[in-house]
Structure 1
Amino acid sequence: MGVLDILQSKTTGLPECYRQMSESEMVSRIEAIKRKMGGQLYLPGHHYQKDEVIQFADDTGDSLKLAQLSAENAQAKYIVFCGVHFMAETADILSSDEQTVVLPDMRAGCSMADMADIHQTEKAWEILQDTLGDTIIPLTYVNSTASIKSFVGKNGGATVTSSNAKAMVEWALTQKERILFLPDQHLGRNTAYDLGVPLDQMAVWDPIANVLESEGPNEDVRVILWKGHCSVHEKFTMENIRQVREDMPGVRVLVHPECTFDVVQASDINGSTKKIIDTIENAPTGSSWAIGTEMNLVNRLIQTHPDKHIVSLNPNMCPCLTMNRIDLPHLLWALESIADGEVINQINVDKETANFAKIALERMLERSI
């Protein structure tokens, strides 16, 4: 679902009564619904969610973990996804027809996912096939719409997460001579470089101008990167790294691979959300860390590891605005609507799209332990 789909949705706005309710009352009512519905209700929560929401999650995780848990979940009648729309779409694709997936606020989107729509992708594919022949396999980051996942599945490719990107890119390069990596150029570039693909064998596809931006001849290109990015992770800069190393001698810089190439290269460690969490959990007491990822997660790591000195790599960083659309009022509204027998904000991927998207997801899941 893109921005236009959300704006054109028939879903009504949050009723005023939920805006007027105290936090304690909302917490009490959510707890009561969870007790009453038991196993019929399942709340997966992404690590970037606010504390007020994540406290109610039945499972927390990154995109890979939540995709796997959604695939395994067979008991719950209702899956209320505390994340963003592409994650809820994935849950709907992987769950059964008897299960209902709800996103508490339909405005909870992903700017990165909206940087690649199906019309742009089909046009790019047509031009690239004409230019380079049948030499390309598409991969898409799970931070993409269901229609992009479906396109990838239909054309022999798979989805990837930041946890398994290396394994999936490695696999893809055994399938075809070239990769089209959607929609995050930074994850694609950082991953391919780590696997030994030099920068001069990578090119960037500009979906607005419909041109391939390459430093050398097209025939030398092995990885085609879609010109998209994460609006949060792109805000970490080389100046941030310079400043934190000056202010905190001995600090270790730990960043997500959605950061730009220069920032990742200048960091001490880069990795998925799970790797960031695991690294901090296993770090020695007294160690110092500057973390380049979403602020809700950084704050949670600071709170849960008081024995370590942890700061955000960018002190002026804000939380992911779209992820933060999910809040207590919207969560309570979604749950009470379900309890009253009137589902709101249901995510429903059409069958044809879901079938091919599921193929792309399963190609990933069978290669991810």
Structure 2
Amino acid sequence: MSLDAAVLARTAPLYERVRRVIPAMEWPVFADDVDAILSLKRERNAVILAHNYQTPEIFHCVADVVGDSLALARKAVDTNADVIVLAGVHFMAETAKLLNPDKTVLIPDLGAGCSLADSITPEDVRLMRATYPGVPIVTYVNTSAAVKAESDVCCTSGNAKRIVEKLGVPKVIMLPDEYLARNIAAETDVEIIAWKGHCEVHERFSPTEVRQLREDHPGVIVLAHPECPPEVVAEADFSGSTALMSDYVAEHKPARVVLLTECSMSDNVAVQHPSVDFIRPCNLCPHMKRITLANIREALETGQHEVTIDPAVAVAARRAVERMLAL
């Protein structure tokens, strides 16, 4: 049996997981890297944490832990591996390092950034604190460790409302996503002061697009991520984090659904729900798509790129993340 045939035979069960979203003719392109990554993980005592926006061949075939940013943060703490490879963007890798300071954390591409993380600096946070003295600062995990270090507590899209309300104060500052802050403000009596950051994927959705989707696909259920503009969320049937959107599909099994978020999310959820018809308005995150099987394999082979955080920054940033997890 040739090497190629042997690789295809070993990876055949993995292909069965994704055959509905990856054509058979494309699988040989992925199979060699998948096979090598599985072997390298055993050799290095490594785990791969993959965000919901990763492509199916990563999400379903090589990842050990998958989910939204909150799930990855929680699971990062529980791993016994020596090496964590973060298949996601840089702030997620930093969060994994904050919670696992003694482990090696790798990100396959240093260019995998985030428009939200880039929208605010530590100096901006200090200015907000000076402008609103005594008001707690709740910072979205989609930020650098240096920004987290200037904050009181972190949040995710899945737990933001709970975090805001559990602080027990009448007013909070929520950074940096303006739309998330406005959407949470509509659900709580807590006054929320917002920043002007936006996600370049979610800000592109519009109410007009939602109405057109309903016209083109009668009966479609629309699920929107809370990073979408409030006008889009108002047009949706449900709004929630990527984990909550996935849970909604699992619980309600809509005949036809559209997820207003990064388009790989639909592919990943579709694998698990073959009876659901997914309509795909494809807004890609250019940063998430910098992570590939090839550079995950290279990260495991070479140990690049290791994530490091200044110890002084790490102490304060870890405190904000751990307070979120405790709440």
* TM-score bracket for the superposition, by shorter chain length: 0.7 to 0.9
Instruction: Give the distance between the partners of 2:306 and 2:123, measured in 1 at CA.
Output: 24
* Unaligned 5+ runs, structure 2: 1-27
Instruction: Tell me the residue number matched to 1:267.
Output: 236
1:328 correspondence with 2:293: yes
Instruction: Give the distance between the partners of 1:28 and 1:361, measured in 2 at CA.
Output: 35
Q: Is the 8 A contact 1:112 1:183 kept in 2?
A: yes
Which of 155, 162, 169 aligns to 2:157? It is 162
Instruction: Give the distance between the partners of 1:52 and 1:26, measured in 2 at CA.
Output: 10
Alignment partner of 2:304: what SS?
coil
Instruction: Tell me the residue number matched to 2:310.
Output: 350
Instruction: Tell me the residue number matched to 1:24.
Output: 31
1:89 correspondence with 2:94: yes
Alignment partner of 1:194: what SS?
coil
Quick one: structure 1 residues 24 and 229, their matched pair in 2 at CA, closer, same or farther if it must change by over 3 Å?
same
Deviates more, 1:255-264 or 1:26-35: 26-35
Q: Is the 8 A contact 1:166 1:195 kept in 2?
A: yes
Instruction: Give the distance between the partners of 2:144 and 2:269, measured in 1 at CA.
Output: 29
Instruction: Tell me the residue number matched to 1:103.
Output: 107
CA shift, 1:182, in A, is 0.5
Alignment partner of 1:181: what SS?
strand
1:195 correspondence with 2:202: no
1:33 correspondence with 2:37: no
Instruction: Tell me the residue number matched to 1:80.
Output: 85
CA shift, 1:266, in A, is 1.5
Instruction: Tell me the residue number matched to 2:173.
Output: 180
- Superposed CA deviations along residues 21-80 of structure 1, whole A, max 9, x for unmatched, are 96433223222212333xx2121111111122222111111111110111222x211111
- Superposed CA deviations along residues 100-143 of structure 1, whole A, max 9, x for unmatched, are 111011111111111011122223333x14xxxx3311000000
Instruction: Give the distance between the partners of 2:76 and 2:318, measured in 1 at CA.
Output: 12
Instruction: Tell me the residue number matched to 2:273.
Output: 305
Alignment partner of 1:151: what SS?
coil
CA shift, 1:251, in A, is 1.9
1:226 correspondence with 2:195: yes
Instruction: Give the distance between the partners of 1:72 and 1:308, measured in 2 at CA.
Output: 33
Amino acid at match of 1:344: Q
Alignment partner of 1:43: what SS?
strand
Q: Is the 8 A contact 1:158 1:360 kept in 2?
A: yes
Instruction: Give the distance between the partners of 1:171 and 1:180, measured in 2 at CA.
Output: 14
- Superposed CA deviations along residues 253-303 of structure 1, whole A, max 9, x for unmatched, are 11111110111112111011111001111223x622122011001122234
Instruction: Tell me the residue number matched to 1:11.
Output: none
Quick one: structure 1 residues 135 and 119, their matched pair in 2 at CA, closer, same or farther if it must change by over 3 Å?
closer
Amino acid at match of 1:365: L
Q: Is the 8 A contact 2:129 2:137 kept in 1?
A: no
Instruction: Give the distance between the partners of 1:226 and 1:329, measured in 2 at CA.
Output: 37
Q: Is the 8 A contact 2:205 2:228 kept in 1?
A: yes
Instruction: Give the distance between the partners of 1:171 and 1:290, measured in 2 at CA.
Output: 32
TM-score by length of 1: 0.77
Instruction: Tell me the residue number matched to 2:75.
Output: 69
Instruction: Give the distance between the partners of 1:107 and 1:241, measured in 2 at CA.
Output: 32
Instruction: Tell me the residue number matched to 1:244.
Output: 213
* Unaligned 5+ runs, structure 1: 1-20, 198-221, 338-342
Amino acid at match of 1:270: S
Q: Is the 8 A contact 2:129 2:135 kept in 1?
A: no
CA shift, 1:329, in A, is 1.6
Alignment partner of 1:280: what SS?
helix
Instruction: Give the distance between the partners of 2:311 and 2:76, measured in 1 at CA.
Output: 17
- Superposed CA deviations along residues 322-366 of structure 1, whole A, max 9, x for unmatched, are 0111102211111111xxxxx321101111111111111111101
Alignment partner of 2:150: what SS?
helix
How many residue pairs match? The answer is: 299
Q: Is the 8 A contact 1:169 1:192 kept in 2?
A: no
Instruction: Tell me the residue number matched to 1:140.
Output: 139
What value does the CA root-mean-square deviation take over the aligned residues? 1.7
